[in-house]
Structure 1
Amino acid sequence: MSAKPVPSGIVEQNRAVSSSRIVVAATVGNLLEFYDFTVYSFFALTIAKLFFPSHDPIVSTLMALFAFAIGFVARPLGGFVLGRYADKRGRRAALTLTIFLMALGSLTIGLTPTYESIGLAAPAIIIVARLVQGFAQGGEFGAATATLLETGSAKGRGFRASWQLASQGAAALMGSGIAAILTYQLSSTQLLEWGWRTPFLIGTLIMPVGVYLRRHIVEEPPKAEASKQVVLEGYLVRKWFLTVFAIMGMTVATYVLMYYIPTYSIQYLKMPARLSMLVSISAAAVSLTFCPIWGALSDKMQRRKPLTMTGRVMLIALLYPAFWLMNQFPSLPVVMGLIIVLMFFYTMGSAPAYALMPENFPKHVRAGYLASAYAVSVSVFGGSAQLVVAWLIRVSGNTMAPAWYMIACVIVSLIAVSMLEETGGRELT
Structure 2
Amino acid sequence: MKPHAQEPSQEYDAQTRTAGFVEPSGSGRSRAASAPKIVVAAVIGNLLEFFDFTVYSYFALTIGKLFFPAQNAVTSTLLSFAVFAVGFLMRPLGGIVIGRYADRAGRRPALTLTIALMALGAAIIGCAPTYAQIGIAAPVLIVVARLTQGFAQGGEFGAATATLLETGDDRSRGFRASWQLASQGAAALLGSGTAALLSFLLDDAQLHSWGWRIPFLMGTLIAPVGIYLRRHIAEEPSSADAGVRHWRAVDVRNWFLVIFAIMGMSVASYLLMYYLPTYCIQYLKLPAKLSMLVGVGASLTSLVMCPLYGAWSDRLGRRKPLTVIGRIALLVLIYPAFWGMNHFTTLPAVLAMMFVLMLCYTMGSAPAYALMPESFPKAIRAGFMSSAYAISVSLFGGTSQLVAGWLIRVSGNVMAPAWYMMICVVISLIAVSLFEETGGKALKG
Q: TM-score, normalised by structure 2?
A: 0.92
Match of 1:156 among 160, 172, 179: 172
Q: Does 1:126 align with 2:142?
A: yes
1:19 deviates by: 2.5
Conservation of the 8 A alpha-carbon contact between 1:72 and 1:378: yes
Corresponding position of 2:93: 77
Q: Does 1:378 align with 2:407?
A: no
Conservation of the 8 A alpha-carbon contact between 2:180 and 2:369: yes
Conservation of the 8 A alpha-carbon contact between 1:87 and 1:366: yes
Q: Does 1:39 align with 2:49?
A: no
Conservation of the 8 A alpha-carbon contact between 1:305 and 1:417: no
Higher mean alpha-carbon deviation, 216-225 vs 37-46, is at 216-225
Conservation of the 8 A alpha-carbon contact between 1:256 and 1:385: yes
Match of 1:202 among 193, 218, 227: 218
Conservation of the 8 A alpha-carbon contact between 1:326 and 1:335: yes
State the Cα deviation string for residues 111-159 of structure 1 (Å, max 9, x = none).
0000000011100110010000000000000000000011111110000
Q: Does 1:217 align with 2:233?
A: yes
Aligned-partner SS, 1:170: helix
Q: Does 1:358 align with 2:373?
A: yes
Letter in 2 for 1:254: S
Conservation of the 8 A alpha-carbon contact between 2:20 and 2:168: no
Cα pair distance change 1:214/1:242, threshold 3 Å: same
Match of 1:331 among 339, 346, 359: 346
In the TM superposition, what are the counterparts of 1:20-419 in structure 2 within 5 Å? Answer: 20-220=36-236, 222-223=238-239, 225=241, 229-230=245-246, 232-419=247-434
Find the aligned partners of 1:20 and 1:304 in 2 and give their Cα distance.
25
Conservation of the 8 A alpha-carbon contact between 1:246 and 1:412: yes
Find the aligned partners of 2:237 and 2:407 in 1 and give their Cα distance.
45
1:29 deviates by: 0.2
Find the aligned partners of 2:40 and 2:176 in 1 and give their Cα distance.
10
Aligned-partner SS, 2:408: helix
Gaps of 5+ in 1: 1-10
Gaps of 5+ in 2: 1-17, 22-30
1:209 deviates by: 0.2
Conservation of the 8 A alpha-carbon contact between 1:315 and 1:342: yes
Find the aligned partners of 2:123 and 2:90 in 1 and give their Cα distance.
18
Cα pair distance change 1:89/1:226, threshold 3 Å: closer
State the Cα deviation string for residues 224-256 of structure 1 (Å, max 9, x = none).
5279634x4322111100000000000000100
Conservation of the 8 A alpha-carbon contact between 2:20 and 2:234: no
Letter in 2 for 1:305: K
Aligned-partner SS, 1:34: helix
Find the aligned partners of 2:77 and 2:296 in 1 and give their Cα distance.
22
Find the aligned partners of 1:228 and 1:129 in 2 and give their Cα distance.
35
Find the aligned partners of 2:259 and 2:319 in 1 and give their Cα distance.
17
Corresponding position of 2:14: none
Aligned residues: 419
Cα pair distance change 1:381/1:303, threshold 3 Å: closer
State the Cα deviation string for residues 341-367 of structure 1 (Å, max 9, x = none).
100010000000000000000011100
Find the aligned partners of 1:147 and 1:275 in 2 and give their Cα distance.
38
1:303 deviates by: 3.9
1:306 deviates by: 1.8
Cα pair distance change 1:274/1:418, threshold 3 Å: same
Cα pair distance change 1:102/1:331, threshold 3 Å: same
Find the aligned partners of 2:439 and 2:296 in 1 and give their Cα distance.
32
Find the aligned partners of 1:112 and 1:288 in 2 and give their Cα distance.
32
Find the aligned partners of 2:55 and 2:255 in 1 and give their Cα distance.
31
Conservation of the 8 A alpha-carbon contact between 2:20 and 2:32: yes
Cα pair distance change 1:227/1:79, threshold 3 Å: closer
Aligned-partner SS, 1:204: helix
Cα pair distance change 1:136/1:145, threshold 3 Å: same
Match of 1:18 among 28, 34, 40: 34
Find the aligned partners of 1:150 and 1:65 in 2 and give their Cα distance.
36
Letter in 2 for 1:355: A
Conservation of the 8 A alpha-carbon contact between 1:91 and 1:221: no
Letter in 2 for 1:346: Y
Conservation of the 8 A alpha-carbon contact between 1:258 and 1:283: yes
1:47 deviates by: 0.2
Find the aligned partners of 1:316 and 1:12 in 2 and give their Cα distance.
39
State the Cα deviation string for residues 19-64 of structure 1 (Å, max 9, x = none).
2211100000000000000000000000001000001000000000
1:161 deviates by: 0.1
Corresponding position of 2:6: none
State the Cα deviation string for residues 393-417 of structure 1 (Å, max 9, x = none).
0000000011000000000000000
Conservation of the 8 A alpha-carbon contact between 2:319 and 2:432: no
Letter in 1 for 2:83: A
Conservation of the 8 A alpha-carbon contact between 1:21 and 1:217: no
Find the aligned partners of 2:191 and 2:60 in 1 and give their Cα distance.
13
Find the aligned partners of 2:302 and 2:243 in 1 and give their Cα distance.
41
